[in-house]
Amino acid sequence: MSQSVILFEGVGKKFRRSLASAALYGLQDCARALVGRKPPERLREQEFWALRDVSFAAGRGECIGIIGPNGAGKSTLLKLVDREYRPDTGRIATRGAVKSLVRLGAGLQPLLTGRENIYLKCAELGLGKRETDAVLDRIAGFAGLEKSLDAQVKHYSDGMYARLEFSIATCVPMDILLIDEVLAVGDIAFQMRCLERLDQLKRLGTTILFVSHSEMNVRQIADRCLLLFDGEALAFGTTDVLFLKYYESLGFVQRALKPLGLAPEPPAVSSDVASIARLAVAGGIAGLPKARTGGALTLTVDYTAKAPVERAALVLEFRGAADLLMATLDSALNGAVVALAGRGRLRVVVPFLGLAAGVYRIAGGFRRDGAWLGYGPDLLRLTVEQGGDVETSGLFALRADIEALD
């Protein structure tokens, strides 16, 4: 990566829980400074770390997504870059001017018109009148306010406020742009236009720190992500891997979600000739129904057949979060059909489990000539964990054989 535009090295920032403690500790720190002593590094009774030992770097034209739950320290990090706060530990280095876009609409003058606000804010960005004249139509067009440009801003809706200030703030490239949940106030169409504008700024060399709870927006614009949790940096790396770590830290991966829309209806079963009495994981992890992405999965199937069946295919459906069908195991695809009679047990081996980490509901049964002989809607809840040191992203992990060609 090119020379860093933003560099954090072991940065920490602590706050006091009350105004009284802030005043008391401030006087104590001033007294220590007079005698040449530094403030204590350990936390005092009414102090807490908002950020602690955070390190990362961002290059020119790169967007870093800052993700994590509320209270993780995301906004504090942006305020440190903007020099609104000073770090208590570590070092922050930035190259170039910083533009902060935190609360849309907060910087507009309500008694001025949209046109007057454009000239005022562009002057703050260092643009002269001629330069502002050149970009005025582009600003109004992006915000969709051509017909309302000469109305007072106090008559604008929240969405109009947001569109105007974002359009002004991003009308010219800058060195560093800080964004904190500013897209949440707009509709989907506005958000997509904003993301396209940010992508243009990246290509022009603007370095962006992007704070958002919207996974879609972060995935669209971020090149890498920093995951914060309780003020500490859990990880820094690719977006897919970081979101998986984020959900794992919250226990989200192991939760079963409500179905999207209507719950899927079980298939019509005309008979109950053969059914699965019990589905289990052979071995598992610590004796539990668990498997790992990329590892082998061995299942045992106990079945009951009320009448002999010569050729039946075993079909298992793997449904993931929100009950979406993620994969289907159909033994007929491999030409594997079985004869069923009375009670029996089958052994099923999946040599490479390509499912991403999560909880899966396994349903299924036996089929012959396209018709179900029996169907179980909830045979097993299988937990799939991340496979060892190998980090995967997306919904599936694909296996491939690679050979060198002469």
Provide the pLDDT confidence category of residue 405 given band limits of 50, 70 and 90. Answer: confident
Same domain, 311 and 211: no
Same domain, 43 and 127: yes
Beta strands in 190-289 (DSSP E): 207-211, 224-229, 232-237, 274-281
Q: How much is the average pLDDT of 306-310?
A: 89
Identify the helix (H) or strand (E) that includes residue 190: helix 188-203
**338 φ, ψ (degrees, to nearest 5):** -125, 160
Q: Is residue 354 part of a domain?
A: yes
Same domain, 279 and 217: no
Give the model confidence (pLDDT) of 341-376 as tens digits: 899 999 999 999 988 888 899 999 999 888 889 899
397, two tokens: 């992990």
In angstroms, the CA 312 to CA 45 distance is: 70
Same domain, 225 and 307: no
What is the per-residue pLDDT for 244? 75
Identify the CATH number of the domain in which residue 297 sits: 2.70.50.60
Same domain, 77 and 176: yes
Give the model confidence (pLDDT) of 122-155 as tens digits: 888 888 889 999 889 988 888 888 888 999 988 8
Same domain, 151 and 240: yes
Q: How much is the average pLDDT of 203-223?
A: 89
* CA end-to-end span of the chain: 33
Q: Is residue 265 part of a domain?
A: no
Q: Is residue 401 part of a domain?
A: no
Same domain, 279 and 165: no
Identify the CATH number of the domain in which residue 151 sits: 3.40.50.300
What is the per-residue pLDDT for 1? 46
Beta strands in 68-124 (DSSP E): 89-94, 98-101
Same domain, 378 and 302: yes
Total number of domains constituting the chain: 2
What is the per-residue pLDDT for 300? 93
Residue 392 pLDDT > 80: no
Q: Is residue 259 part of a domain?
A: no
Q: Is residue 345 part of a domain?
A: yes
Give the model confidence (pLDDT) of 22-76 as tens digits: 777 777 778 777 877 777 667 777 777 889 899 999 999 999 999 988 888 898 9
What is the per-residue pLDDT for 277? 92
Q: Which residues fall within 8 angstroms of residue 61, CB to CB, at 6 or more apart?
A: 202, 203, 204, 205, 206, 207
Same domain, 295 and 226: no
Same domain, 194 and 241: yes
Tally of residues, the chain? 406
Query: Measuring CA to CA, which residue among 80, 17, 22 is closest to residue 51?
Result: 80
Range of the domain at 163: 4-250
Q: Is residue 395 part of a domain?
A: no
Q: What is the residue-averaged pLDDT of the chain?
A: 84
* Type of residue at 57: A
Q: Is residue 396 part of a domain?
A: no
Same domain, 180 and 240: yes
Same domain, 118 and 224: yes
| 233 contacts 182 by C-beta, under 8 angstroms | no
CA 169, chain centre distance (Å): 25
If one compares 404 and 227, the residue with the highest pLDDT of the two is 227
In angstroms, the CA 175 to CA 347 distance is: 61
In angstroms, the CA 168 to CA 380 distance is: 55
157, two tokens: 């809706």
Residue 264 pLDDT > 90: no
Residue 335 pLDDT > 60: yes
If one compares 49 and 90, the residue with the highest pLDDT of the two is 90
* Type of residue at 401: D
Q: How much is the average pLDDT of 108-128?
A: 88
Q: Is residue 267 part of a domain?
A: no
Strand partners, 292: 385
